[in-house]
Structure 1
Amino acid sequence: MMDFGSTFQVVLSEFWYLIPLLIILGLIRTPWFKGKTGEFLVNASARLLLDKSRYHLVKNVTLPTTDDGTTQIDHVLVSEFGVFVVETKNMKGWIFGNPHQRFWTQKIYRSNYKFQNPLHQNYKHVKTLQALLGFDDHQMHSVVVFVGDSTFKTPMPDQVTRGLGYVSYIKSKQEAVLSPDQVKEALEKVASGRLKESFATDRAHVRHVRGLVSERHGVAPRESRSGLLKILIFPVLMLGVGAIGVNAYSNFVSGAMAIGTKRVSEPRVEQAARPAEPSSNSVVQRVHQSPSELFLARQECNSLIAAAIGNQDPRLLRDRDKACARYKALQGEIH
């Protein structure tokens, strides 16, 4: 019977560094991390490719709405050419959709996934920010940018872009629609009107969105912890599999050692039980029995060599060296 407790402790002591690594790998696979990665790429490219003196970037803006909820905007760029409200999507695969559809489709191999039309999603962002700033429609611009390994399989409007295409779209707007004073005032209103950037604000927004979705589909909202559970369960499962593997290998090695020891010990018992023969025949007997003893010694040496592979137990290594030395000594006696 396998001792899982002791084996797990051995695995944990030897491979403890894998726990944070596996947690990080699990975290990378979550939608939250993918979203943050996409936002980071857009932020970095905006700071590098847009003139900071003309384009003022504000990220992760959470604004209160008229329905006592919140709306969260990934990026706001304020310039003399207007206010650009940027929605980021970090997705892969083929993307199908048009501006009038309620849902778009993401296709990965043979699997299809529906997601909200990002233009509709960003429309609420634009209107909420527009109400705060008091600007006209021509002074507001909605931009959607897909980052990641995605490909549009249907024609998309100009404001729906991939990668750095959103920078080109923003730069294409060359008509000044805001004065320097309006730009400054807009930045001040965003700073004063936004909710404090914090974990609590993000969680409140997530709960609000879940409530809207649940109300729309007639399902009571509930807090989901599946993402966190996946992150924690993944490394535990990997360690469990590792423990079983190590235990199985340990049992295999022990069995191999037992077989080798049995094969060596049995002939010795039989030989010890035989009556002693006259000394005149002792040399002949040793010569005739040496090949069999040599074979057993070789078996013992090979078994211990196999058992010592990947096992640095000093006692096992010492037994291996003794057995192989005995085998070489018997070889010398016969030859």
Structure 2
Amino acid sequence: MVVIIGILLILAFVFLLIFGKSTAEIRGEEGEKIVRKKLNRLDKNKYTIINDVVFNINGKKSQIDHIVVSDFGIFVIETKNYKGAVYGSESSYNWTQYLFKKQFKLYNPIKQNQGHIYALQHVLKGLMPLDFISIIVFTNRSKLKVKAQTHVIYTQKLIRVIKLYDEVSLNNYMKEAIIETIKKHNIKDNN
């Protein structure tokens, strides 16, 4: 009986390794779900939310957590669900996370999101000059110690920051063309 239980535990572990998600992936999805709920509070007539977009640009994949196409520009949102204190600046290559007296390096999310904006510009090239607003959103699990011009905020400030942008720059025709182009190039939806 003990052998059978042992074998079942080993099989369950192997199954999780092959088909399961890592803890980081699960935490990331949890953070994205929190942000998705916040974004769903926006006026649907002015804001169109597209979640979890993946582009293939010249053989390189770019995964964007959230794109909000609005009357006021295009918001490109990167979600982070880290625990502990996070230190960084606009220009540093890496940021540092301090957790339980340990130190971890993470790629600067502002630079990461800039890569997402470049991918989005590539997909939308030729449509028109567009305004992109980069926002990095952290859940409340972290304590931010970041110096940056780019919006690096907690989830509870997301809607307030988006609504800071109130100058109309896109009409309905332009928004529809942008949304259709994003959806057409989103390989996550096309598989």
TM range (shorter): 0.7 to 0.9
The Cα of 1:45 is off from its aligned counterpart by 1.2
The answer as to whether partners of 1:159 and 1:166 remain within 8 angstroms in 2 is no
SS of the aligned residue for 2:168 comes to coil
The structure with the largest helix share of the pair is 1
Pairing 1:34–2:27 present: yes
Pairing 1:54–2:46 present: yes
- 1:85-139 Cα offsets, whole Å, 9 max, x none, are 11111101001000000000000131010000001001011111122223435x1
SS of the aligned residue for 1:128 comes to helix
Pairing 1:103–2:85 present: no
* C-alpha distance in 2 between matches for 1:196 and 1:109: 36
AA aligned to 2:78 is: E
AA aligned to 1:147 is: T
AA aligned to 2:31 is: G
1:128 corresponds to which of 95, 115, 119: 119
AA aligned to 2:55 is: L
TM-score by length of 1: 0.50
- 1:18-48 Cα offsets, whole Å, 9 max, x none, are x79xx7xxx787111011111111111110x
* C-alpha distance in 2 between matches for 1:115 and 1:71: 17
**Percent identity for Structure 1 against Structure 2:** 28
The Cα of 1:155 is off from its aligned counterpart by 3.2
* C-alpha distance in 1 between matches for 2:100 and 2:2: 41
The answer as to whether partners of 1:61 and 1:73 remain within 8 angstroms in 2 is yes
* C-alpha distance in 2 between matches for 1:97 and 1:167: 23
* C-alpha distance in 1 between matches for 2:47 and 2:183: 16
* C-alpha distance in 1 between matches for 2:124 and 2:146: 34
Which one has a bigger Cα radius of gyration?
A: 1
* C-alpha distance in 2 between matches for 1:95 and 1:157: 16
The Cα of 1:148 is off from its aligned counterpart by 4.0
The answer as to whether partners of 2:110 and 2:150 remain within 8 angstroms in 1 is no
Which structure has more relative contact order (CA 8 Å, sep 6+)? It is 2
The answer as to whether partners of 1:81 and 1:174 remain within 8 angstroms in 2 is yes
| Residue 77 of structure 2: aligned partner | 86
Aligned residues: CA RMSD: 2.3
The structure with the largest strand share of the pair is 2
* C-alpha distance in 1 between matches for 2:113 and 2:76: 8
Please list, as runs of the form range in 1=range in 2, the aligned pairs for 1:51-200 lying within 5 A after superposition.
Answer: 51-66=43-58, 68-134=59-125, 135-136=128-129, 139-197=131-189
SS of the aligned residue for 1:160 comes to strand
| Residue 242 of structure 1: aligned partner | none
The answer as to whether partners of 1:130 and 1:136 remain within 8 angstroms in 2 is no
The answer as to whether partners of 1:57 and 1:78 remain within 8 angstroms in 2 is yes
The answer as to whether partners of 1:34 and 1:90 remain within 8 angstroms in 2 is yes
* C-alpha distance in 1 between matches for 2:161 and 2:38: 13
Unaligned runs of 5+ in 2: none
AA aligned to 2:143 is: T
Unaligned runs of 5+ in 1: 1-5, 202-335
